[in-house]
Amino acid sequence: QTVVTQEPSFSVSPGGTVTLTCALSSGSVSTSYYTSWYQQTPGQAPRTLIYSTNTRSSGVPDRFSASILGNKAALTITGAQADDESDYYCVLYMGSGISVFGGGTKLTVL
Amino acid sequence: EVQLLESGGGLVQPGGSLRLSCAASGFTFSSYSMSWVRQAPGKGLEWVSSITSSGGSTFYADSVKGRFTISRDNSKNTVYLQMHSLRAEDTALYYCARRGKSMAGTALYYFDFWGQGTLVTVSS
């Protein structure tokens, strides 16, 4: 059973930089997992931020960036704003049509 | 403009069945794989199922395998999720999502557009 782990919560000051990570229960995350990242605010559908590890989706500001950091996927928000306060989810593609979501990170901006 | 409109949710008793629909518009539906993703109240997102553009291949999470069936009708621009043997733990908001691909048509294994969801409640 593949488990994808994210920090349950994180806090960042307005204008600050934060890096959220996405790890596999066994093994390292690589570009082969086509990591994608989604932002969700309460009561709203998810919004696609990043796909294929580090490609920003259309309309996503460049203060959102993503990469592989060590053995994890990472989402970095530079110059955090109040409306970045959301839940953030990573998804790894495991092959054979299977995708697995991480548990999500609740980001607080204060 | 890409639009995905889910319907069919509701209250169903444990062991019951329900069929969800997702009507798509604003893009060439028959060219895209589609997926269902759910979110239990207060919980995270969970991938449920995907279907290829032709409907020739389907994929399921272990939690629903053998109970749920995904299908599509490209003439109606609609994807379905037939759910049987429903359990309390299937209670969730069910989102329809389009699978993104490159301009060249290469699968990119992410969800690029989402509907607003339809709520399924399994309770006696």
Confidence of residue B74 (pLDDT cuts 50, 70, 90): very high
pLDDT tops 90 at residue A2: no
CB contact under 8 A, B100 and A100: no
Rg of chain A's alpha carbons, rounded to an integer? Answer: 13
CB contact under 8 A, A98 and B109: no
- Any CB–CB contact under 8 A between A67 and chain B? no
Confidence of residue B103 (pLDDT cuts 50, 70, 90): confident
pLDDT tops 90 at residue A1: no
Q: How far apart are CA A54 and CA A30, in angstroms?
A: 11
Cβ contacts from A onto B, under 8 A: 66
Q: Closest Cα to residue A4, out of A34, A44, A49?
A: A34
Looking up tokens 């994808």 gives A4
CB contact under 8 A, B44 and A34: no
Mutant choice from A48, A87, A88, A90 vs B, greatest count of B C-beta within 10 A: A48
Looking up tokens 């997926």 gives B35
CA dihedral (A78, A7, A49, B30) in degrees, to 10, reads 170
